[in-house]
Structure formats: structure tokens, C-alpha cells
Amino acid sequence: MKLKDEILFNQIKGKIYKDFEIKNMTTFKVGGNVDYLIIPKDYDDIRLTLKFGKDNNIPVYLMGNGSNLLISDRGVRGIIIRISKENFNKKKIKNNLITSESGVLLYELISISVRNELSGLEFLHGIPGALGGVIAMNAGTDGSSISDYLREIKVMDSFGEIYILPKEEIGFSYRKSLVIEKKLIVLEALIELKKSKKENIFSTLKYKINKRKLTQPLNYPTAGCVFKNEGDNKAGYLIEKAGCKGLRVGDAEVSTLHANFIFNRGNATFNDIISLMKMVRERVYEKFKINLNPEVVIMGEVEEEVPFKILEPW
């Protein structure tokens, strides 16, 4: 692989790391090493990496801020492209429209919208993700999703082609979009907000902050909500009523504040978390005959069969 490595390394303008411990780039703080971590500087770097993977039959994966990601302790074979705020952080505002690159963190978007008296994104407060991943998963809370405020996105496909997709062509639904299904990379988004007074926006944010402090385990590493809601059935409610609050496997524990949060007490392993997820799903099914599906994205090699979907390479 040495000559092939050099071909890619000599072309990439961004950063390349070999045999990189990836867990500290996730909010769960779990995971083994990835063969290659590439932090691209520009679109050409992304395109070159995708081509290198295809030409050499090397799997390529994508991550943003790592806030909704559970990586196996056996690591990831292949390449992870990390779209980071380091190089994809441009933002501009015109009237009530924000154009933002995909590496921008949500708290930055909320801050810039508040400064410009634009309302709409307050419901995302506290989600530690970057815009690209949030769009791919159509993340949200309290009945709202990021797709409610999108007009269009700029994407790159797995062949390196760049084009604009209007909101109507992205196939948004609950915690789902065509971005992942079609293996697209979000590069930029056009967000449409509404004018509002700063005091009104701050009031909403204050409510969100206080609610989060009371209902989420903020002092420990988590990946946010672990399971998706099933129709009108809130996953947190089902998990709580199935008696799962406080369940623990190793250093992985179901929060007593919010039953749909699993947190890492410090040394949780991938298998700890997966075993706890299996236990929770089994108890919910036993009581309600409802199968919960993960909201958290699972990536990497596994020792034995995992009863949850594993992210496929781009």
C-alpha cells in the first residue's frame, strides 16, 4: 500500500492521519482506530479521496462532528472523511436567508441567527452536531426538523459531481433523507428563517436550555437519542415504561433523566453499548410488541452479528 498511500498523500491539501484513534472525535468517546482519517481542505480533496477509494477498492466513510455516531472498538477499515468546521465553516446572510457550509456547528448557526434577529433554529439548541450530518439525518426535536427550514442544499455524489438539490428532491421524512440513501455529501445549505425580536428568541432559547439541563445527562458522553420514535410512540416513553431507566452494562447506562439517552460513565465499550441497546429493545418489544430502531449511526467492524444496521461505505 505504500506507493498507493503516497499517490493520495501527495495530492491532498488537507490533513491525513494513518491508524488514527477516532473515539475522541465522537461525543460517545467510544471506538477503535481507523486506517486513514482525512480532513479535507476543499472540494477537490473530497473528490480525490472518493476516487482513490474507488480505484483501490478501499471503503470510504463520512463523518461530521461525531455527535450521532457509535464506532466499533475494532475500528474502521478504510478511510473516514471528516467534514469539519476547520475548512468548511463559511456563512453568509442576506435578509432572512443563511447560506452555510456543512462543517458549521449548530450553536454557531443559532448564534448568527440570533445576532441577525432571525428565528427558527432555536429548537436545535443543545444538539452538538455540524450542519451536514444534521441535514443527512434530518435531525430535530420537539416536533420540528432541520428540513422545515431548508430551501436547498449543495451536494457531491460518490463520483465527485456537484449539484444543487431543492428541498422537494431530498426526500425528507422523520430522521431520514436521500442524502445517506444516495450516498451524497452535503457541502452547503440555504436556510430560510423568519424575522423576530431578539428578546423573543432569547426567551425560547432560555426555555430550551433549562429543559435540557433537567432532562438530559449533560455531564457524561452521549450520542443524543439512541432510538427513533415509532409513529406516535415516543421511544423515551416506551423505554421508561418498559422499566429500562438505570439499566447498566459495563460503563454504559440508560439515563434516569431521559430514557432514550445511553451515556458512557467513562470506560464504556462498543459491546457494552450494543448489549444495552439490545436489552432495551427486547424489553420494549416484550411489553409493547414494538421494535425500536436506532437513531444513532453505527460504524465499523464487529466481532459478532449486531442486530442493528451498520453504516455502509460511500
The span from the CA of 51 to the CA of 33, in Å, is 22
The span from the CA of 282 to the CA of 220, in Å, is 25
The span from the CA of 185 to the CA of 143, in Å, is 26
Q: What's this model's pTM, rounded to 2 decimal places?
A: 0.93
Last residue of a domain, one of 82, 107, 138: 82
Domain match, 279 and 237 both: yes
Query: Tens digits of per-residue pLDDT, 126-155?
Result: 888 899 999 999 998 878 899 999 999 999
Residues 6+ apart with CB under 8 A from 41: 12, 13, 14, 87
| Phi, psi at 101, each rounded to 5° | -75, 160
What per-residue confidence (pLDDT) applies to 305?
Answer: 81
What is the signed CA dihedral for 128, 129, 131, 134, rounded to 10 degrees?
-120
The span from the CA of 178 to the CA of 172, in Å, is 7
Residue 308 belongs to some domain of the structure: no
Residue 313 belongs to some domain of the structure: no
- Of 193, 69, 181, the C-alpha closest to 128 is 69
H or E element, residue 153: strand 150-156
Residues 6+ apart with CB under 8 A from 66: 22, 25, 26, 27, 28
Tell me if 13 sits within 8 A of 45, measured CB to CB.
Answer: yes
Domain match, 152 and 100 both: yes
Query: Tens digits of per-residue pLDDT, 34-44?
Result: 999 999 999 99
Q: Please give the tally of structural domains in the chain.
A: 3
CATH number at residue 287: 3.90.78.10
H or E element, residue 165: strand 162-166
Ranges under pLDDT 70 in the chain: 1-4
Residue 14 belongs to some domain of the structure: yes
What per-residue confidence (pLDDT) applies to 208?
Answer: 87
**What SS3 state is found at 134?**
helix
What per-residue confidence (pLDDT) applies to 43?
Answer: 97
What per-residue confidence (pLDDT) applies to 309?
Answer: 92
Side chain identity at residue 174, one-letter code = Y
Residue 241 belongs to some domain of the structure: yes
Domain with 31, as residue range(s), is 2-82
75 forms bridges with which residues in the sheet? none
3-state secondary structure 70-98: EECCCCEEEEEEECCCCCCCCEEEECCEE
Q: 25, exposed or middle or buried, with CB in 10 Å at 0-12, 13-18, 19+?
A: buried
